[in-house]
Amino acid sequence: MKIGIFGSSTVAQTIGSKLVNLGHEVMISSRDLDKAKDDAPSPAEWATTNSAQAGSFAEAAAFGEILFNCTAGMHSVEAISTANLNDLDGKILVDVANPLDFSGGFPPSLSVCNTSSLGEQLQSAFPELKVVKTLNTVNANLMVDATRVSSPTTIFIAGNDAGAKSQVKDTFLTAFGWKDIIDLGDITNARATEMYLPLWVRLYGTLNTADFNISVAR
């Protein structure tokens, strides 16, 4: 399957590499294909190394049969707005981003919360997309390999389209090793998983590792 990824940094490259390994064709995207990231190669270099492609946000939208949002949440609407709307029509957008606002330093605050969420902002800005919020509650390495932590843990999914959620579960979450998948309901439930981030960043600061996740015992 052809997967277009909005974004080019750690999350885009980690998900992109996993999807290539699973046999998908992948294009990551950026405003500058030759600029190296803080802790990752440039998009162009990553594409060469991973037998994948790199392009603009608009080119990734056109390329992908399914799309991933791996951009900084505060700028996701802006990034996806550069796509041709015809290239979004009817496609699933797997939204793994968080609306983290680092303008006040660490820990970050959320640029949207309580009465809305990034997932909802995206669904509202791009009604032609089927937005599925998932994987945003774990680190990039854990997103694509649920077995990195010792005991089975929980991942959440939310979105308005039942068929889209089912396809994301079957095509990606299961392939990434997730077994305990809790469907929270429609896209308004993205608020809940995004509002977990204030706890996530504090756990990260305390545990000194990003290899952790919660398990919902019941």
Nearest C-alpha neighbor of 32 from the set 22, 23, 20, 45: 45
Burial string for 175-190 (b: 16+ CB within 10 Å, else e) reads: bbebeebeebebbbbb
Among 4, 8, 132, 194, which residue sits at the site for ligand NAP (rule: CB under 6 A)? 8
Look up residue 23 and give its DSSP letter.
T
Q: Exactly one of 139, 153, 189, 213 binds ligand NAP (CB under 6 A); which one? A: 139
Q: Using the minimum distance from each CB to ligand NAP, give the nearer residue, 58 or 70.
A: 70
Cross-strand partners of 130: 92
Residues 158-217 that bind ligand NAP (CB under 6 A): none
30 binds ligand NAP (CB under 6 A): yes
* Options 52, 58, 60, 98; binder of ligand NAP; rule CB under 6 A: 98
Residue 124 tokens, joined: 């509202």
Residues 53-92 that bind ligand NAP (CB under 6 A): 70-73, 75, 78-79
CA dihedral for 9, 13, 14, 16, sign (positive or negative): positive
Choose among 166, 191, 195, 194: nearest CA to 181: 166
CA distances (Å), origin 112, targets 100, 124, 194: 9, 14, 9
Among 10, 42, 160, 188, which residue interacts with ligand NAP (rule: CB under 6 A)? Answer: 10
Q: How far is CA 65 from CA 2, 12, 155, in A?
A: 5, 16, 24
Give the contact letters, 109-138, x = binds to ligand NAP (CB under 6 A), - = no. Answer: ---------------------------x--
By CB under 6 A, residue 17 contacts ligand NAP: no
**Rounded to the nearest whole angstrom, what is the least distance from the CB of residue 114 to ligand NAP in the complex?**
18
**Nearest distance, CB of residue 164 and ligand NAP, angstroms:** 19
Q: How far is the CB of 140 from ligand NAP (least distance, A)?
A: 4
> Which residues contribute to the site for ligand NAP (CB under 6 A)?
7-12, 30-32, 70-73, 75, 78-79, 96-98, 100, 136, 139-140
